[in-house]
Amino acid sequence: MVSKAMAKPDDEIIDWLPTPLRNRLKTLRQTEDFKKRSKQNSANKRIGPKAGTVHTSGSISAEETARRMALRDKKMPTAAELFEEMHTKKEGTEKVFCDKRAKSVWDEYQRLKLNASQTGEQVNDDELFLQAAGGVNKKGMVYGLGNHTQAFYERVRPSTQSSPSTSIAYTPSMYAQLVSRLQASKEQLNATRAELTLTKEEVKQATDAIARIESRFGSSSS
């Protein structure tokens, strides 16, 4: 409780504290050591690899952002697309990331994606982003996706590795698998349509040929 009181401005220190204690807190807050520690703690919350997630969507959740993107783009976003949407803002004609960590994750994702394309390796895009983001944390979440992590990744088994960021093994979620299957079904449907078009053309050619033969025989009979 005292720590909460210390975080409030001098004129808002909660009144349930006894007067002597309130005065002691006010005096303590004026010391150079306290000011230095307070400044450092504030900086630690804003920067560094363990800093909290910062995004540009305000109070809009990742789930709601994904829903809006699906309506806008007529398709569900990938993990990387959702991350970019939530962590960038427009400055002129360019997209700028909200902090250094988000930019670092995005750059790593782009690097992994480029390497995969150059080697011809077939890798799921969501898996590339998972690697770029540092895996999952102890709460089972991926940096930048928050509670929407499970829309892209499904917990399958504990990992033998000791690192917190990889302590849980994930695979593409049922959602991601369904998206892949839908894409495969669309491609198969397009191929079937092409075959049907070809078949119709062949039938037409055969019908025309038969008509010509019949016409020829009809002329001979007469």
pLDDT at 179 over 90: no
103 domain residue, yes or no: yes
The tally of domains found in the chain comes to: 3
Domain-located, residue 146 = yes
Verify that 13 and 28 share a domain, yes or no. yes
**Is there a single domain that holds both residue 87 and residue 187?**
no
Backbone φ, ψ for residue 183 (5° rounding) = -65, -40
Q: Is residue 201 part of a domain?
A: yes
Are residues 163 and 215 both part of a single domain? no
Q: Please give the mean pLDDT across all residues of the chain.
A: 74
Together in a domain, 216 and 156: no
Question: Does residue 165 have a pLDDT over 80?
Answer: no
| More confidently predicted of 187 and 220 | 187
Same domain? 156 vs 203: no
> What local confidence, expressed as pLDDT, does residue 182 receive?
67
CA 177/CA 169 separation, integer angstroms: 16
CB 54 within 8 A of CB 102: yes
pLDDT-based confidence at 50, cuts 50/70/90? very low
Instruction: Name, in order, each residue with C-beta under 8 angstroms of 178's C-beta and a sequence gap of 6 or more.
Output: none
Give ∠ CA 207-209-213 in degrees, rounded to 5: 115
- The answer on 79 and 147 residing in a single domain is yes
pLDDT attached to residue 1:
45
Q: 149 near 126, Cβ under 8 Å? A: no
At 40 the three-state DSSP class reads helix
| Residue percentage of the chain with pLDDT more than 70 | 64
Share above pLDDT 90 across residues of the chain, in percent, rounded to a whole number: 18
